[in-house]
Amino acid sequence: MPRWKPDARVRLIAAAVELFAENGYENTTVIEIAERAGLTKSTFFRHFPDKREVLFGGGEVAALLERAIEDLPAELTPREVIAAALDAVGSQTFTPETREFSARRRAVIADNPELQEREALKGLSITAALTDGLVRRGVPELAARIAAEFGALAMDIAYERWSGRGCGDDFGVVARRALDEVYEASTQS
């Protein structure tokens, strides 16, 4: 059996979420995660700076949103840009294969205030990525910030719904519905 397998990062993530669910985040060590994944502690640290980052992806979602925004046609409105960027994230990150992991991830985060704080910071990085992407497209700063805030809120709502039990829709469908609801709610206040 070969010593090296190309799916180390995925195995580490799966092992961490299993252990966090079984033992709690605080009671799980990096060594236990690596052992569960059939890897070494040094392999863990090649992929993640600490056990917390196993749950947060190191800014990958924010970077994906920015790249998606850059590749969209110039004539789209900020709302259309946000919707298309959420579609891109959904098709590349929030797939049927990751739905169960996402539900377990949410449960682990809900049980730990430190992780909830990190999740909030991730939300801020998503808002910043959306804002920056829109500003680079020529959207005025205030309009970009508002659209980005709406987009980040819609993404958060969509992620909660999509990763919950009983939601059979693709993430992009759920995200567009949430974005429409956020815009509709903003006109009622």
**pLDDT at position 1 over 80:** no
* CA distances, 83 to each of 95, 134, 165 (Å): 17, 12, 23
pLDDT confidence bin for 4, thresholds 50/70/90 = low
pLDDT at residue number 56: 86
| pTM for this entry | 0.85
Question: What is the average pLDDT across 18-38?
Answer: 94
With 0-12 / 13-18 / 19 or more C-beta atoms within 10 angstroms meaning exposed / middle / buried, residue 12 is buried
Report CA Rg, the chain: 18
Question: What is the average pLDDT across 108-133?
Answer: 93
Which domains does the chain carry? Answer: 8-53 (1.10.10.60), 57-186 (1.10.357.10)
Q: Which amino acid is at 106?
A: R
Which of 80, 65, 41, 170 has its CA nearest to residue 127?
65
How far apart CA 10 and CA 31 sit, in angstroms, is 16
Percent of the chain with pLDDT over 70: 95
